[in-house]
């Protein structure tokens, strides 16, 4: 892996970058030297970041992959302070690996983002809660409609990323060996996403979309929301108010009843 820092010191972040690159290579069992052809470009202002990415990244983005150039561009001032810096770098490296593996074959955005999210690590609890709320409120976005993520606001984009990761994670779970690399290799070999997908999974893309739509509702529902302490606290507070109100009404009712006078 090569670092392009314009001569500026990255401090401890440089060591983190190299550690992440090593972890990435191990996760995908890459051959020695494969990661060495990737360039990490550090930028130091939003305007510099936008120039390096040709303005293709929304204002909420702090990292981007340019697969054609083999580059990962980072907004150093933001990414170096991010609590998910390692996941961010793994995510962008994932984009480059995927596009190198499939060549010029176009892949759906959910698959592209899903793989990058899968490489960066498992879903966190916040993402599962987000998906559960989306299912409860009927706000989920069909996978086929995730092509325009970069034009969406932060909340909608984060939901799209969570859906992509969840769908890809489910896909990996039903693959013959529980790994995505054979599927990716087949897509690159036949030169067509849908054909390669069918060859490995035995399903058409529409069939997978229908299967995932049902599975998403089954996996991410109101039961998961109960594990969120904020939801649980709200429910307990509401029950406390209801029980307190009932008790108060009973007291007032008893006080309003005529008292029997003793003779």
pLDDT above 80 (res 259): no
Which positions ≥6 away from 97 have C-beta within 8 Å? 24, 28, 30, 119
Tell whether 117 and 28 lie within a shared domain. no
* 143 backbone dihedrals φ, ψ, rounded to 5°: -55, -40
The domain total for the chain is 2
Q: Note the pLDDT of residue 32.
A: 61
Q: Is residue 236 part of a domain?
A: no
Last residue of a domain, one of 58, 75, 102: 102
Kindly state whether residues 79 and 164 are assigned to the same domain. Answer: no
Same domain? For 184 and 131 the reply is yes
Q: List the single range of 51-55, 60-64, 102-106, 256-260 with lowest mean pLDDT.
A: 256-260
The pTM assigned to this predicted structure is 0.79
Host domain of residue 62: 1-102
Specify the pairing of strand 2-4 against strand 63-66. unpaired
Same domain, 84 and 115: no
Are 148 and 224 within 8 A, CB to CB?
Answer: no
Q: How many CA atoms within 13 Å lie on the side-chain side of 101?
A: 22
Last residue of a domain, one of 102, 133, 154: 102
The answer on 92 and 36 residing in a single domain is yes
On the question of pLDDT at 77 being above 80, the answer is: no
Q: Tell whether 241 is covered by a domain.
A: no
Residue with the larger pLDDT of the pair 235 and 74: 74
The CATH number that applies at residue 70 is: 3.40.30.160
Residue-level pLDDT at 29: 78
Q: Is residue 247 part of a domain?
A: no
14 and 112 assigned to the same domain: no
pLDDT at 263 over 90: no
Same domain, 130 and 202: yes
Chain centroid offset of residue 102 CA: 21
**Cα atoms found within 13 Å of the Cα of residue 34, Cβ hemisphere only:** 16
């Amino acid at each position: 892996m090569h670092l392009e820092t314009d001569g500026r010191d990255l401090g401890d972040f440089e060591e983190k970058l190299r550690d992440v690159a090593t972890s990435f290579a191990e996760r995908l069992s890459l051959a020695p030297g494969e990661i060495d052809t990737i360039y990490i470009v550090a930028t130091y202002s939003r305007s510099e970041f936008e120039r390096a990415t040709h303005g293709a990244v929304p204002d909420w983005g702090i990292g981007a992959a340019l697969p054609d150039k083999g580059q990962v561009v980072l907004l150093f001032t933001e990414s170096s302070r991010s609590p998910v810096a390692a996941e961010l770098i793994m995510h962008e490296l994932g984009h480059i690996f995927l596009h190198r593996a499939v060549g010029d074959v176009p892949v759906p955005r959910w698959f592209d983002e899903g793989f990058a999210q899968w490489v960066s690590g498992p879903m966190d609890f916040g993402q599962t809660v987000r998906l559960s709320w989306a299912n409860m409120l009927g706000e989920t976005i069909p996978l086929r409609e995730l092509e325009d993520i970069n034009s969406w606001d932060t909340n909608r984009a984060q939901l799209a990323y969570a859906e992509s990761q969840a769908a890809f994670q489910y896909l990996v779970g039903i693959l013959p060996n529980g790994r995505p690399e054979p599927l990716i290799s087949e897509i690159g070999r036949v030169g067509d996403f849908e054909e390669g997908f069918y060859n490995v999974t035995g399903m058409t893309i529409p069939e997978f979309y229908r299967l995932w739509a049902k599975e998403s509702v089954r996996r991410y529902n109101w039961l998961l929301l109960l594990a969120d302490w904020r939801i649980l606290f709200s429910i307990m507070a509401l029950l406390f108010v209801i029980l307190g109100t009932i008790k108060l009404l009973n007291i007032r009712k008893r006080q309003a009843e005529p008292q029997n006078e003793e003779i």
